Amino acid sequence: MTDMMSMGLILDNGYSGLWLLKSRFWLAGVPAILYAGMWSRLNFKTDNELIRLRYSGKSGISLHIFRAIFLAAFVIPFLGAFIILALKKFLDVLHVDAIANVEHVLIIGIILLVMKNSFHQKIRTDFLSAIICIVAPIIICAFLLNANGGPQNIYGVLKADYSEQIRLIPSPGNAENSSLIADFLIFVFIQWWSINIVDNSDPNAQRHFQAKSQFAAFKALYIPILISSLMFLVVSTIWDCGLFEYKTSGYTGIDREAFYLQIAIKYLPDGFKAIALIAILFSFLTTLESIVNWGGGLLTVDIFKTYLFKHGSDRQYKYLSFACMFVVSMIALAFAFHNDKILNLQKFIFSISAGVAPVFLLRWFWWRINAWAQISAMLSSLVYTLIFDSLYAHHASFSGYINYICSELAVSYYPLKIVILTGLVVGTWMTVMYYTQPDENSHLRKFVRQTGTGGWWPHSMADMQYKLKKRVFLCFVFGITSILPFLCIWQFKFGETLFGLTLLLVFVILSGYVYLSMKILLNENQYKITNI
């Protein structure tokens, strides 16, 4: 799905448009370095159970209920819609509409997926999914390069005739790029910390609960990040071939996001085409399984089992979980059928997260964050987003004023909205936090004991074995490291090969340094917290 969005961004704005998605490189190592080990210490069934451990009293219960319903009924269906819309585009590329109604096919397919879905089945398919997602793009890439005259022809034409489209950063000397430059600055300096909730409070948390050790939990996230970084060489080559064909073949009136799928299978022989189609479909379905399972788990465990239906049998909870996953899936289908662009869904998800991310990060390390701060952050971000979009769409004076600001600052509507929402939401949750009471010390002590966290807690409550400063330093190192494959691969294709090799060497050295540092830190300190 991200690859499809990236293809659309490249065709619209060139490589510099990717910063909307790539700006989170600063946070690439944070989930593995800061949070994975703490999650592995917790014997939970869903990530939402953390709320009852972290927050005390009625406010903790209120947030526990609110977040479960808010995510399962709204946020998770939007994430599901993101994948379903990609599936719809996939079926459109295959011209399924010639033999059946695509929406009916999707509805039947999602129902069947829910009926066979379970977390344990998902665990068993993860390894196969990873292998397919590595092998299939390599095969696609090889045939695309051959069909378009080889790398020399493709990159020779792109460098000679389409230099603006392959720039990583918009050219300041080009007046048409003025808004792209302002957008780039907002993505790199504001959006990355404002919207990206990276404390693993998502389906990844379930994987950490199964980890045998804190270092195993770290590796479960860190190694896939490295593999994904190296796979960028293959995936980006598919984008390059798509850009080359789009520019040289005169395509008009096409779905630019679906063009990634179209170009991926266009030149494959029948046998390899079948493999590629299965790989793409399998990738979509396994991701959708995780999303649906997450939403069903929140409703089943955190609402029904905890508050409404406490003494049911395992069999009853099993059927209840299927019913909850079905409801989540139907809402996701409704959202998907009312949108036609994956990027629009992604921007909306980003918008309703603006200003919220700092709360999710800080609640693990700062005693002053309370449940009311998190509730106000989540709710205000949604409310402000809906009000902002509604005013812009239906009130000429408001839209005129926003357009005037966009024109004066040479910035696009979406980045400006992110800046405004971030300021409003951060101001809201900070005000609420300081006007409400913090959690009880005894409750905070329990949280610190079970998670082994560091940071700022009353009466030196945190165990310094966590070594927060060293971990933050490693996050900074890996933040720089994570962008190097993106830069070095671009250098291999469009810049200086020697410089690209240098960046690759630095990437290997720094990645190894972070890995060994975490191994030493986690093996030396098992977080046996005492005297708390």
Mean pLDDT over 147-164 rounds to 88
Cα 457 to Cα 244, 439, 441, 526: the distances in Å are: 55, 11, 9, 20
111: pLDDT confidence band, cut at 50, 70 and 90?
Answer: low
Q: Under 8 Å CB-to-CB from 131, ≥6 apart: which residues? A: none
Mean pLDDT over 44-69 rounds to 92
Q: How many CB atoms lie within 10 A of CB 506?
A: 15
Cα 484 to Cα 181, 345, 373: the distances in Å are: 21, 28, 36
531: pLDDT confidence band, cut at 50, 70 and 90?
Answer: very low
Closest to 117 in 3D by CA, of 63, 78, 171, 80: 80
Predicted pLDDT at 110:
67
Cα–Cα distance for residue pair 374/196, rounded to 1 Å: 15
Predicted pLDDT at 116:
58
Cα–Cα distance for residue pair 50/527, rounded to 1 Å: 19
Q: Torsion angle, CA of 514/519/520/523, rounded to 10 degrees?
A: 160
97: pLDDT confidence band, cut at 50, 70 and 90?
Answer: low
529: pLDDT confidence band, cut at 50, 70 and 90?
Answer: very low
Predicted pLDDT at 350:
93
Residue 375 has pLDDT above 90, yes or no: yes
Cα–Cα distance for residue pair 162/243, rounded to 1 Å: 9
Cα 359 to Cα 199, 389, 426, 453, 454: the distances in Å are: 10, 24, 9, 16, 16
119: pLDDT confidence band, cut at 50, 70 and 90?
Answer: very low
Please state whether 252 falls in left (phi above 0), alpha (psi between -120 and 50) or beta. Answer: beta
Predicted pLDDT at 105:
64
Residue 78 has pLDDT above 80, yes or no: yes
Q: What's the token pair of residue 56? A: 């005390």
Pair 412, 179: CB distance under 8 Å:
yes
Predicted pLDDT at 128:
60
pLDDT cut 70: percent of the chain above it:
89
* Residue 238: strand, helix, or coil: helix
Residue 181 has pLDDT above 90, yes or no: no
Cα–Cα distance for residue pair 254/4, rounded to 1 Å: 13
- Side chain identity at residue 25, one-letter code: F
Predicted pLDDT at 429:
97
- Is 416 or 124 the better-scoring residue by pLDDT? 416
Q: Under 8 Å CB-to-CB from 187, ≥6 apart: which residues? A: 19, 20, 23, 415
Mean pLDDT over 488-503 rounds to 87
Instruction: Say how far residue 410 (Cα) sits from the centre of its chain.
Output: 28
Q: What is the DSSP letter of 172?
A: T
Predicted pLDDT at 310:
83
Predicted pLDDT at 117:
55
Predicted pLDDT at 72:
92
CATH number attached to the domain at 2-524 = 1.20.1730.10
Cα 407 to Cα 193, 394, 411, 413: the distances in Å are: 25, 20, 7, 10
Residue 133 has pLDDT above 80, yes or no: no
- Is 106 or 224 the better-scoring residue by pLDDT? 224
Cα–Cα distance for residue pair 490/486, rounded to 1 Å: 6
Average pLDDT, the chain: 85
Instruction: Say how far residue 164 (Cα) sits from the centre of its chain.
Output: 28
Predicted pLDDT at 526:
54
Residue 127 has pLDDT above 70, yes or no: no
64: pLDDT confidence band, cut at 50, 70 and 90?
Answer: very high
Pair 21, 175: CB distance under 8 Å:
no
Q: What's the token pair of residue 299? A: 């409703």
Q: What's the token pair of residue 414? A: 């979406």
Predicted pLDDT at 102:
63
Predicted pLDDT at 166:
86
Cα–Cα distance for residue pair 480/482, rounded to 1 Å: 6
Cα–Cα distance for residue pair 445/441, rounded to 1 Å: 6
Cα–Cα distance for residue pair 218/248, rounded to 1 Å: 45
Closest to 267 in 3D by CA, of 151, 141, 158: 141
Which of these ranges, 164-168, 399-403, 404-408, 435-439, has the smallest mean pLDDT?
Answer: 164-168
